[in-house]
Structure 1
Amino acid sequence: MKHRRLTIPAAIALVAIAPTVFAATIAQSGSAKGASWKPYFRAHSLNFPMIFRAHHPGPAWVLGHAKELGLTPAQQKTEKELTIHMVGAAKSAVATLKAKYADYAKDAAQPNPSSQQITADIKSVGKAQIGVGTAMIPYHLKAYAALDPHQRAIFRKMIPAARTNPA
């Protein structure tokens, strides 16, 4: 019996702190340096890489094919700037989504969570996920728009290869 008495309080304590640990894990998962945001982006971007990017490669891809496309120095500068801003937008969207998930986890851990609050949290998570899914779209479209008509024709011919080898 003593063993069970110790086990039940321990289990209650574990259940009580688990959501807090989960929320902290979510919040900290984006704090690592480097490209730690990329796997999270891929997992939460509504399949952006396979659906949109497969048909509309972005500025990083255009830069990677500068020679084949015949980019001018000014166009290369534009594509570099678009890439920098695109990555910033994606990182920001990922950070927002992680924060919304952390809020949801924190509120869900309350002893008597409000249905209204949990519903609002879930809607915020959904809105933030849409933000992740759409973060790169304007930059991909601007990357294409920065090309002249001849370069666009080359780009369109290269798209099937981009689908099988997204740089």
Structure 2
Amino acid sequence: MELIVDGQRHEVDVEEDMPLLWVLRDELGIKGVKYGCGVAACGACTVHINGEAVRSCQTWVSDVDGPVTTIQGLGQPGALHAVQEAWVELQVAQCGYCQSGQVMQAAALLEQTPMPSDAEIDQAMSGNLCRCGTYPRIRAAVKLAAQKAQGA
């Protein structure tokens, strides 16, 4: 089975019902995608498929129908995505475990809604849990990223 992940083609020999999360982590060595709950309730495993945020723990590899972007493919050192820049600038992360999923969810939100309201941010981010409770900093970082992406 062929996958395009972070712009690179990969041939994987796995069962069709293997969750994408385990293909990414165990088969391709992409450790930025985190395992949190395994039931799509926490958002730690969020990746993009065709630009849409999905929970990789509940996405079978056979259901992947386009390019996959992980946190490791969102931006590059020296050329971070606006969301990653905002996360660093506002020091959003505490423990950091959930942050790759948070960043991926925020990036997908800004693709669909370039200047979201507080309510839109809260709604879009509501499925991503942060045990450290950095939600106010997450919202502030999404707003800052929106401004950065708009060149403001």
Give the TM-score normalised by structure 2.
0.26
Larger Rg computed on CA atoms: 1
Larger strand proportion of the pair: 2
Larger helix proportion of the pair: 1
